[in-house]
Amino acid sequence: IKTVGITNQRETTVAFDIETGEPLTNAIIWNDVRTKELVRKLIDEAGSASRFASINGLPITTYFSAVKMRWMLENVPEVQAARERGTLRFGTIDTWLIYKLTGAYVTDVTNASRTMLMDLKTFKWSQECLEFFGVKESELPEVRSSAEVYGTIKDGRLQGVPISGCLGDQQAAMVGQSCFEAGEAKNTYGTGCFMLFNTGDQPIFSKNGLLTTVGYQLGPNAVPKYALEGSIAVAGSAIQWLRDMVGLVSSASEMGSLSDSVEDNGGVYFVTAFSGLFAPYWRDDARGCIVGLTQYATRGHIARATLESVCYQTRAILDAMRKDSGTDLRRLRVDGGMTNSDQAMQIQADILDIEVVRPEMRETTALGAALAAGLGAGVWESEEELRRIAQSNVSAFWSRITSEKRDEMLQGWEKAVERSFNWA
């Protein structure tokens, strides 16, 4: 083993004591909504949810790390005590792992760009954002590129092996899908769903509810690339809910055949807003709802409506990306657990009306972390080499429905989304 790369669930935040190396409280994960009331207070204080978007590319929501840090500072006595001692340190999961494995207190540009605290143009912690959220710069890690040696593993079977790649999970998938050119996009279907669109070496600040983020910086002297991102809070986790909580299916693999048992959704729509709706809606008051039920509806209709829900939300994000970038995307690269379902990918192609391309290598997040690590350790020398490694056999899906049918389905979805608002 020549080197190790790390990819992690972004935004999830850890507070720990730099003297003991021990966590001070449980991590707060990316989709946790305990900070909802704090967010409303902060928006009032800021005057607008987008007050800092021109600096960090993000709206003030429960999603990002700064709000989680502020909540810990206000609600966790151990965190407050560590601040008084000067030993408090915050980090996303990449920071925690690299610190525990090597002793280095660092993060990479992709993870730092999800905290709400980094200036997207300078790649430094923003003093204005730090002041507003009440976080000290000394409590944050050093920001580094996504491909360089951060340190070597201190002990265990990998002792002495360097860690030389670090990317947030969605940016890792972008690298794993070799989306290295402006205008290329990928969508990862996991617990949630995340579409990233490479905008090149300049950030585009969205006017349509998308996030502006760092795509990657593959080396300390490399030109950083930016991306527009749309995030869906609930994708694969809706299938888990149907399996574990409702008992509609006994395994996730049943969803495809069950949805294929019906011709269409039968007028049934499932808005999977279990913790609100993310881009481009940004409604934390939305909650999940199934609408359009009649006595005609079957398990198959509900299964199909579940798969369609992710695909409709992907379409809303794609439409926003078209408006922001002025580019008509003609191909979407896809990966993640849900892409194992041919039925789900056919539905996605039907709703998007563009080519949907699925690689043979589905674990593109892990592949992206490995590619960054290899580049950082000198195993490979260029993005072109990475592209050759990442490209493999693909399956392509094209729309099979008429534009009239597509418009009818989209109108039904928009009506369903409206029904999900104002519940929390």
pLDDT tens digit string along 1-17?
999 999 999 999 999 99
**SS3 assignment for the chain:** CCCEEEEECCCCEEEEECCCCCECCCCECCCCCCCHHHHHHHHHHHCCCCCCHHHHCCCCCCCCHHHHHHHHHHHCHHHHHHHHHCCEEEEEHHHHHHHHHHCCCEEEHHHHCCCCCECCCCCCECHHHHHHHCCCHHHCCEEECCCCCCEECCCCCCCCCEEEEEEEHHHHHHHHCCCCCCCCEEEEECCCEEEEEEEECCCCCCCCCCEEEEEECCCCCCCCEEEEEEEECCCHHHHHHHHHHHCCCCCCCHHHHHHCCCCCCCCCEEECCECEECCCCCECCCCCEEECCCCCCCHHHHHHHHHHHHHHHHHHHHHHHHHHHCCCCCEEEEECHHHHCHHHHHHHHHHHCCEEEEECCCCHHHHHHHHHHHHHCCCCCCHHHHHHHHCCCEEEECCCCCHHHHHHHHHHHHHHHHHCCCCC
Judged against a pLDDT cut of 80, whether residue 324 lies above it is answered with yes
% of the chain with per-residue pLDDT over 70: 100
pLDDT tens figures, 60-98: 999 999 999 999 999 999 999 999 999 999 999 999 999
pTM: 0.87
pLDDT tens figures, 340-363: 889 999 999 999 999 999 988 878
